[in-house]
């Protein structure tokens, strides 16, 4: 009877109805509307992290990855690196793979390389970084330095950061792909004003990936760029999925709509990410975090059901009313 009661309380809590009963079991109560809402149930009740194919090869990658801007730009202090170690451990356990960095991100590349090499399976991850300079020789030098910092003999994805001298670097990357120094090439940007140029690159067939800004409050990519990527077989990585954290400010202390459970949404973070993943053109989202609990929550967005078009419209209406 005691065991049945425990199962009932946990099941009730997972549905969002029994949080007041959790302290009786020694389980901390979680504040509704917070980033960590349903963190307990997300850890206990999981499904497999979904994957989507890279169109140019058919290789599948998980739909939720990890950005490293700011979060991984840390020093050598143990208290700075230990949370990042836990982030990577949780990511591995949940099946996440894509780690995105850049020489622009300070020490992030070096920290990623160091911490993943400490793990039992460093080759489990899909490593992506960028070139962020002008000139062929300067680009080659910077890319080699990035590969050394991230401890990769072959980089999974090398991207031209913010389109800086992209024509020059894409020529180099085409050669490097033939030499197995990189597996995929791409270009990135973080502003809506770049989308027309990114669309031209997509339609030219020059790249395997684009990385672009897209969130529930920044949906310009939906108009032309994402459809173009889908039509021309280009994978899409999404940066700034939380609009630099501004989305959490809009929903602070607000409860999730009850119907969110129908599409396996258990937190506002998952609400924001699942909206993006509901667009079939999106291959992977890369929210950044140095918090292991947030990492687990982010990974949850790639599990269970995704919202259909009708539900995505309803999600926008929720946000607009707040």
Number of H helices, E strands in the chain: 12, 10
Asked if residue 41 belongs to a domain, the reply is no
Rounded mean pLDDT, 304-320:
97
pTM: 0.86
The 10s digit of each residue's pLDDT in 237-289 is 999 999 999 999 999 999 999 999 999 999 999 999 999 999 999 999 999 99
Rounded mean pLDDT, 218-234:
98
Instruction: Report pLDDT for 33.
Output: 44
Rounded mean pLDDT, 220-226:
98
Find out whether 202 and 234 touch, Cβ atoms under 8 Å.
Answer: yes
Q: Which secondary-structure segment (H or E) carries 156?
A: strand 155-160
Q: How many domains in the chain?
A: 1
Find out whether 150 and 101 touch, Cβ atoms under 8 Å.
Answer: yes
> pLDDT tier at 47 (50, 70, 90 boundaries)?
confident
Phi/psi for 221 (5° steps) reads: -60, -25
pLDDT value at 115 more than 60: yes
Distance linking the first and last C-alpha atoms of the chain: 43
Instruction: Report pLDDT for 29.
Output: 38
% of the chain at pLDDT higher than 90: 85
CA gap 254, 215 in Å, rounded: 19
CA gap 224, 217 in Å, rounded: 17
Asked if residue 149 belongs to a domain, the reply is yes
> Could you tell me how far CA 107 lies from the centroid of its own chain?
20
Domain hosting 185: range is 46-321
pLDDT value at 11 more than 90: no
> Could you tell me how far CA 135 lies from the centroid of its own chain?
30
Bridge-based pairing of strands 60-62 and 51-53 is antiparallel
Instruction: Report pLDDT for 20.
Output: 38
pLDDT value at 141 more than 60: yes
Asked if residue 204 belongs to a domain, the reply is yes
Asked if residue 38 belongs to a domain, the reply is no
The 10s digit of each residue's pLDDT in 12-27 is 333 333 333 333 333 3
CA gap 17, 57 in Å, rounded: 45
Asked if residue 29 belongs to a domain, the reply is no
For the CA atoms of 65, 68, 69, 75, the dihedral, rounded to the nearest 10 degrees, stands at 170
77: CB partners within 8 A, 6+ apart = none
CA gap 311, 209 in Å, rounded: 28
The 10s digit of each residue's pLDDT in 85-102 is 999 999 999 999 999 999
CA gap 233, 236 in Å, rounded: 10
The 10s digit of each residue's pLDDT in 282-300 is 999 999 999 999 999 999 9
DSSP character at residue 288: B
Rounded mean pLDDT, 220-224:
98
29: CB partners within 8 A, 6+ apart = 19, 20, 22, 23
pLDDT value at 137 more than 90: yes
Asked if residue 26 belongs to a domain, the reply is no
pLDDT value at 224 more than 70: yes
- The CATH number that applies at residue 96 is 3.20.20.100
pLDDT value at 186 more than 60: yes
Asked if residue 280 belongs to a domain, the reply is yes
Rounded mean pLDDT, 214-222:
98
Instruction: Report pLDDT for 35.
Output: 52
Asked if residue 187 belongs to a domain, the reply is yes
């Amino acid at each position: 009877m005691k065991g049945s009661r425990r199962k009932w309380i946990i099941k009730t809590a997972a549905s969002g109805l029994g949080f007041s009963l959790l302290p009786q079991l020694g389980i901390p109560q979680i504040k509704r509307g917070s980033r960590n809402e349903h963190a307990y149930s997300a850890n206990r009740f999981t499904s497999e992290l979904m994957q989507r194919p890279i169109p140019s090869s058919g290789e599948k990658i998980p739909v939720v990855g990890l950005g490293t801007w700011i979060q991984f730009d840390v020093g050598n202090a143990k208290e700075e690196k230990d949370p990042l170690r836990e982030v990577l451990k949780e990511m591995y356990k949940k099946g996440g793979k894509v780690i995105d960095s850049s020489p622009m991100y300070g020490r992030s590349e070096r920290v990623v390389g160091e911490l993943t090499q400490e793990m039992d399976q460093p080759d489990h991850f899909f490593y992506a970084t960028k070139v962020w300079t002008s000139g062929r020789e300067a680009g080659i030098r910077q890319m080699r330095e990035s590969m050394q910092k991230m401890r990769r003999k072959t980089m999974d994805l090398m991207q031209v950061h913010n389109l800086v001298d992209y024509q020059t670097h894409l020529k180099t990357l085409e050669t490097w792909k033939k030499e197995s120094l990189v597996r995929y090439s791409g270009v990135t940007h973080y502003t809506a004003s770049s989308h027309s140029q990114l669309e031209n690159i997509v339609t030219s067939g020059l790249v395997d990936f684009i990385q672009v800004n897209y969130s529930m409050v920044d949906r310009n990519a939906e108009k032309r760029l994402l459809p173009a990527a889908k039509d021309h077989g280009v994978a899409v990585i999404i940066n700034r999925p939380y609009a630099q954290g501004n989305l959490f400010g809009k929903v602070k202390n607000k409860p999730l709509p009850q119907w969110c459970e129908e599409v396996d949404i258990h937190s506002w973070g998952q609400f924001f990410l699942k909206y993006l993943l509901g667009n079939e053109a999106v291959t992977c989202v890369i929210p950044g975090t140095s918090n292991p609990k947030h990492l687990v929550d982010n990974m949850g967005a790639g599990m269970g059901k995704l919202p259909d078009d009708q539900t995505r419209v309803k999600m926008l209406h929720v946000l607009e009313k707040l």
